[in-house]
Amino acid sequence: MNGAIPNADAHRIADALRAIVGKAHVLTQSEDVAGYLSDWTGVYHSAALAVVRPGSTGEVAEVVKLCNARNIALVPQGGRTGVCGGGVPVAGSPSVVLSLTRLNAIRSLDTDGRTVIAEAGVVLEALHEAALKLDLIFPLMFGAKGSCTIGGNLSTNAGGSNVVRYGNTRELCLGLEAVMPDGSVINALSGLRKDNTGYDLKDLLIGAEGTLGVITAAVFKLFPAPIARSTAFLSVDKLESAITVLNRLQDQTGGGVEAFEYIPQPAVDVICKVFPAIRRPLEGPVAAGILVEVASSRRHDSEQMEDGSIRLEADVMKLLTELMDEGLVLDAMIAQSEQQRADLWKMRESILEAITESGPAYHLDISLPLARIAHFVEKMDAEMLRLGFQPLTVGHLGDGNLHYALSAAEDQDWATLRLETAKEKVFAELTELNGSFSAEHGIGQSKLSVMAKLKEPAQLAVMHSIKTALDPNNIMNPGKLLPPG
């Protein structure tokens, strides 16, 4: 139980919640709630009065009204794969965790309009599967797809590997159903692609990390499923050249690059060390390692050529040969089967776990203008090595996002390293280069201090005004996203 309010009140609140969602869906025993009180990082823990699992939007609205009337904080929660402590309660405020996982229906799939309406608790991978049955895709893609929910994806404006082609979650969403902090329900699920009737409330709620309301359902765009694909791992001579390779591939394939992921040698090494079953993609050393995937839904691209190859694969191969002749690509492994493609993606999606398993590290999730990435990495890697850190970098390079993790160099003791100095150097360089200190994971609890320091004061002030206007009692996920003040 949360110690911040008397036990008798806590019991009364739990009873009132049971009256709304049913006895089985209010958890209060410590062994039942424990799993809901930390996220993937395991860093953030706190207590909660209860975990509530509503089964409908109406029940969510009643729970929100109750908590608003009694000034109880509500922490919306999806799959708990967030990496910033956004989905777990903070100490000090009596909180109810609102798990959306029972809202897991795909309400409708419109094949003509190519849209889908899904509830917040639908697991991302389940949405992939539902779309694929109709030869369509929902292109949001990343390692946590088997556990994260679309409510969490919307609330963090998740990105992942396919942003280079399809955009992030915001760009995939056409409208929302949501419960606002006073318990009112907004229903904007028409799926219209044009609707200029005032402020776009979906854009306010997307990326708000549950601080402005509870998302209960959303309507998303779907896309034709690719019927031809080419996946390869490249060793590019240097990071700067990788941007040229990206643009040449885009030109050659009519913007067909679906993923362009940066995986340099230190990242390959840590993955293969922690997961020995994962094979190295290339026999020799990797310079700027790139996992690239190009795809097309055009019949023309999937036609078989005289030599038996598929046209898209042949086009990619021709370009890669040119790039090798020019010295931009040093080596390449092209997936020859679905299994080889899956192996390459397994390697990419294992990196976060590999870094976490291999010892203490500080994870930065940053973005930069494409033209400045190489400069940033070269300068910061040198600085970090001087400070005793081994940078372990991977990134969704095609959209300018780097996951820049700082681990201890082999001969160094993490406890003695000057992490604050390292962070200051990185943030100063980001500011200089017009980058962002949070590309796709959000702010949560973990980036509040850098948000206070680096976000433009005028923008922060507007955000505070919006929060106060919509949630005057500050019940929605307090202590997240907005630094105090």
Q: Kind and range of the H or E element at 185?
A: strand 185-187
Tell me which stretch binds ligand FAD (CB under 6 A): 73-81, 189-197, 232-240, 371-379.
73-81
Q: Rule CB under 6 A: is residue 100 a binding residue for ligand FAD? A: yes
Q: What is the C-alpha separation between 290 and 243, in angstroms, rounded?
A: 11
Site for ligand FAD in 5-34 (CB under 6 A): none
Q: How far apart are CA 57 and CA 177, in angstroms?
A: 9
SS3 398: helix
- Residue 149 found at the interface with ligand FAD (CB under 6 A): yes
Query: Of 389, 132, 396, which is closest to residue 246 (Cα–Cα)?
Result: 396
The verdict on 78 binding ligand FAD (CB under 6 A) reads: yes
Rounded to whole angstroms, how far apart are CA atoms 143 and 484? Answer: 32
Tokens of 88: 């777990």
| Cβ pair 212, 466 in contact under 8 A | yes
**Beta-carbon count within 10 A of 9 CB:** 14
Q: Which of 2, 77, 231, 445 binds ligand FAD (CB under 6 A)?
A: 77
Q: Which is nearer to ligand FAD, 235 or 477 (CB)?
A: 477
According to CB under 6 A, which one of 1, 36, 39, 398 is a site residue for ligand FAD? Answer: 39
Nearer to ligand FAD, 176 or 312 (CB): 176
Q: What's the rounded Cα separation, in Å, for the pair 363 and 383?
A: 16
* Residue owning tokens 């930065």: 364
Single-letter amino acid, residue 104: N
- Judged by CB under 6 A, the residue of 229, 441, 455, 467 near ligand FAD is 441
Smallest distance from the beta carbon of 330 to ligand FAD, in angstroms? 27
Nearer to ligand FAD, 348 or 455 (CB): 348
Q: Which of residues 204-243 bind ligand FAD (CB under 6 A)?
A: 209-210, 214-215
Binding mask 102-121 for ligand FAD (x = CB under 6 A): ------------------x-
Residue from 54, 89, 139, 143 touching ligand FAD (CB under 6 A): that is: 143
Site for ligand FAD in 155-174 (CB under 6 A): 155-156, 158-160
Nearer to ligand FAD, 52 or 148 (CB): 148
Comparing CB distances to ligand FAD, the nearer of 167 and 388 is: 167
CA 201 from chain centre, in angstroms, equals 21
The three-point CA angle 201-202-204 to 5° equals 65
Find, among 221, 291, 213, 305, the residue nearest to 259 by Cα.
291
**Of residues 99 and 390, the one with the C-beta less far from ligand FAD:** 99
The mark string for 313-352 relative to ligand FAD (x by CB under 6 A, - otherwise) is: ---------------------------------------x
Check binding of 93 to ligand FAD (CB under 6 A). no
In the complex, what is the shortest distance from the CB of residue 442 to ligand FAD, in angstroms, rounded to a whole number?
A: 6
Contact stretch for ligand FAD (CB under 6 A) within 82-90, 192-200, 280-288, 408-416: 82-90
User: Which residue number places its CB atom closest to ligand FAD?
Assistant: 152
How many other C-beta atoms are found inside a 10 Å radius of the C-beta of residue 446?
Answer: 22
Q: Amino acid identity of 334?
A: I
Helices (H) and strands (E) in the chain, counts: 18, 18
Bridge partners (DSSP) listed for residue 27: 51
237: exposed, middle or buried (C-beta count within 10 Å: 0-12, 13-18, 19+)?
middle
Using CB under 6 A as the criterion, which residues of the chain lie in contact with ligand FAD when the complex forms? 39-40, 75-83, 86-87, 100, 120, 142-144, 148-149, 151-153, 155-156, 158-160, 209-210, 214-215, 352, 440-441, 444, 477, 480
